[in-house]
Amino acid sequence: MRATSRAVLALTLATGLAGATTTAVAAPAPAPAASQPENAVPPTFATPFNAAQDMLKGGNAAGSLAKIKEIEALPDLTPYEKYLILRVKAPAEYSVNDNAHAGTDFEALLANPLLPAEDRPLMLKFVAEILYTGEQYDKAAVAIQRYLDAGGDDPQLKELLPQAQYAAKNFDAAAKGFRAEVDAALAAGRVPTDKLLRFMVSAYLGEKDDAGYVYGLELLAVHYPKPDYWRELIGRAREVDNFSNHLTLDVYRLKSQVLGHVDDRERINYAALAKQAGYPGEAKKVLDDAYAHKPFTGADLADAGKLRPEVDKAAASDVAQESVNEKGALAAKDGNALVVQGLLETTQDNAAKGADLIAQGIARGGLRQPDEARLHLGYAQVRAGREAEAMKTFQSVGGTTGTASLAHVWILYLQSRQAAAAAPAPAASASK
């Protein structure tokens, strides 16, 4: 917490007093509360009290406390004199880091009927700060709420309320507070801070609110992308009920696009599935990249050694048969072959042509897997750099076997790309 300066606090509270009025001096006294009688103090009180107050205003809190101790030894102090003592003593104690006594005396001030109503929010504010900096988070949360209920509007304390609730493990209240801050920022067209989003995600996690947790995780992935966020979101996409195993290849494609690669342990499976599904060119790219950048080891190396000649042969055959296969797809009555051929072109780095062929196949109709075809069209459009079109395509993907959940992560990925493009460029460093 960036607590208010203790010196500023002392000055603020000390300035609230205009000096103690004696029977012989007609200086104005603090505005009395409704129940407060006309107050006057004798010179034996006023002289040392005004000195204590001046010391506090001048930054000598220790000297002020020493003077207050002398005043407290005076006999027969009136309720008003005790009230004046607290007005200087509490901020002086806070100024010298005596939080325990300062907190007690601020609370005593709040309970004092002589305290003007307009001064209550300021007292409540510093009680909250004392408790928060003292790591008494449960009490700090209550104190901050009291301050806000009294009309306090300090933005820092508003922000600290859910943080105090979180630290006190009141995750339900904290999550609601963080969510309100996040929603307010988004409604105002602002991006919530990374810190705020991580607080919200952690609060939802503590509350075991999975929907809220995912909401925050998605915002983090979009605005502050990190591999771990994307791995979890992609993993969740395949955890839906009735997820179709043959979409595992599409999971790998999504990972490759978002993360730049699949995990090492997934490379052989990716290549084998791609070959089995009829996309040996895609399998060849996976194997070639592995050999070039991070070679296989152990059992994976042996499997790759067996798979690679088969993949190379099948990929070469596809290239040789490309025009024949395309003519056959164009002549077919339904669009299934066009969708397959378009995805094949896409995996062979002809994404623009691939997207056009898939789009033609969807328009022709008669598809066995229309949502899967739209998922592949969006993928081809992303690979072709046509991200605005891809966004609309992914938004049209439905289905209950995993196509919709994968399309949702694709949408988040495109949103993150948009957010990165809209972010202000970092300032150029000054030349030396």
227-283 pLDDT, tens per residue? Answer: 999 999 999 999 999 999 999 999 999 999 999 999 999 999 999 999 999 999 999
Give the gyration radius of the chain's Cα atoms. 35
d(CA 309, CA 275): 12
pLDDT at 17 over 90: no
- Least Cα distance to 39 among 76, 74, 81 occurs for 81
67 belongs to a structural domain: yes
Residue 30 DSSP label: P
Give the number of residues written for the chain.
432
Mean per-residue pLDDT, 316-337: 94
pTM: 0.82
291 belongs to a structural domain: no
Domain range spanning residue 41?
1-115
- Least Cα distance to 408 among 230, 188, 242 occurs for 230
pLDDT at 425 over 70: no
52 belongs to a structural domain: yes
189 belongs to a structural domain: no
d(CA 273, CA 276): 5
pLDDT at 22 over 60: no
168 belongs to a structural domain: no
53 belongs to a structural domain: yes
| Counted domains in the chain | 1
Cβ within 8 Å of residue 317, ≥6 positions away: 280
103 belongs to a structural domain: yes
pLDDT at 424 over 60: yes
What sections of 134-225 are H helices per DSSP?
Answer: 137-149, 155-167, 171-187, 194-207, 210-223
Q: Which amino acid is at 295?
A: P
pLDDT at 11 over 80: no
Q: How many CB atoms lie within 10 A of CB 388?
A: 10
403 belongs to a structural domain: no
Q: How far is CA 264 from CA 80, 101, 267, 291, 330, in A?
A: 76, 60, 6, 12, 38
d(CA 180, CA 212): 12
